[in-house]
Structure 1
């Protein structure tokens, strides 16, 4: 049986252009022969877990995962836990109530030292904008400025940041464009840092679920938070944004998206990185804001996320030696490497997209001119 399973996995990998023990950077080096049975039984979840356990390696992990995705092997090998997770996602609203705070506790509260080491000068945990940027810091500043220009921010306006992270976007908008604002996050670590970062500015940071918001703002933006909302809550998200937005204001939504409508994320990502997350499709987004907003602009620049992730990987690999090994042990490092590599591969093969939408309550009189 073990020989048959090994032969089956070897054939599947060969179909993706990957050889077991091969000489290329994208080839897999198997250190534990139990890998073959484990990955057949567990699918993509077992692939990631066995890498975390040190059962296999590849010199160019992102290239190996890219080939697996391009060959759609995740659809050919599914474990029983994949099926259980799919049923759970269909039945439960995992992002409701205390479930909405789980990703904050398990991911964003891992430690600000980790994110400071990875993200660069600005703690911005979302795709940079690279057309004219020479490095990560420049790409993130260009992205923040792009958001402000698309919203047409002006001095004296009051803005809302849904999912404000470590406060960098509100700080940038306040200092560069003269606005005041409110930011909400479900992460205690983020809220503490954001309050310190924005001290002295007309910015309020709240540890609060976005669904509790009911006050007026001249503009609303949400950068890299919609991936945690969940399809059962998309309409509610846009309802909240609509009731908080001034009649002539604009909403900017910055989100990763997928090519197909789904109801859950990859099982390994859900278990180890982003619990209760899912990537919206274009159809799911448009259905959710239909009758609530007018679409003014839809801007895609998903290829820039591959560049952003590569920069994050370079930063964190340089920083591992300076981080506490008791908190970030070898298994954690392998988990993080797999996460970044899988994300690169997903954007590189265009399975994942990066979108910025600009929406208005009733249409911009005379039309909207999109900044780029």
Structure 2
């Protein structure tokens, strides 16, 4: 579930969304996510659930990238920006979708879980598990409530479009319902104060 009224409605426009993300430090976050968590190698297969405008491709090597997002404007922008770097589908990823697709080395859900209630988040975990090769990894990143976080971070997170922001323990609990191996890290951003939970789950 997400809010798409008022100021948040502007974020449905892909270029305004990208500009806002850049203001919030998204480029450094994506770089950190790729180097420390995804750790992709040339030739890897990657599924990006909720890929948005696929800006993660700015930091990826030559991989077999499949991006899914239900927003037609976001997918149109991804196709315009990266015409030869990935395959993009304007759709939700479902188990039936994966039946005809080879399994992946990596699955990314960037800012997705906090848009889902617990049942939907559990379904995403199951879907990612099915999509991964044995030993493959799911990487997630989401805003997070944390003890002692900067009040500006808490203020901004409360006004996020996603209405299911959780604590790190709550995110871990959802992951543990499917994945036996997982680790996470709480990241406090300083440029504009914000708090993220980054999680790596291995099949």
CA deviation string 1:115-166 (max 9, x = no partner): 354444xxxx8654xxxxxxxxxxx1x4333322322311111101111111
- How many angstroms apart in 1 are the aligned matches of 2:73 and 2:132? 28
In structure 1, what is the equivalent of residue 90 of structure 2? 207
In structure 2, what is the equivalent of residue 355 of structure 1? 197
| Residue correspondence of structure 1 range 253-268 to structure 2 within 5 A | 253-259=140-146
What do you get for the CA RMSD once the two structures are aligned? Answer: 3.0
Change in CA separation of 1:113 and 1:242 when aligned onto 2, cut-off 3 Å = closer
Native 8 Å contact 2:175 2:182 kept in 1: no
In structure 1, what is the equivalent of residue 64 of structure 2? 180
Change in CA separation of 1:238 and 1:285 when aligned onto 2, cut-off 3 Å = same
- How many angstroms apart in 2 are the aligned matches of 1:147 and 1:248? 19
Pick aligned residue for 1:170 from 44, 57, 74 = 57
**C-alpha displacement of 1:238:** 0.4
More helix by share: 1
- How many angstroms apart in 1 are the aligned matches of 2:184 and 2:20? 29
Unaligned runs of 5+ in 2: 148-154
Number of residue equivalences: 188
| Residue correspondence of structure 1 range 141-180 to structure 2 within 5 A | 142-149=28-35, 150-173=37-60, 177-180=61-64
TM-score, normalisation: structure 2: 0.77
TM-score, normalisation: structure 1: 0.45
**C-alpha displacement of 1:259:** 3.9
Native 8 Å contact 1:171 1:198 kept in 2: no
| Greater gyration radius | 1
- How many angstroms apart in 2 are the aligned matches of 1:112 and 1:151? 24
**C-alpha displacement of 1:290:** 1.9
Native 8 Å contact 1:231 1:284 kept in 2: no
| Residue correspondence of structure 1 range 195-274 to structure 2 within 5 A | 195-201=79-85, 203-211=86-94, 213-214=97-98, 215=101, 216-259=103-146, 274=161
More strand by share: 2
Pick aligned residue for 1:300 from 172, 186, 201 = 186
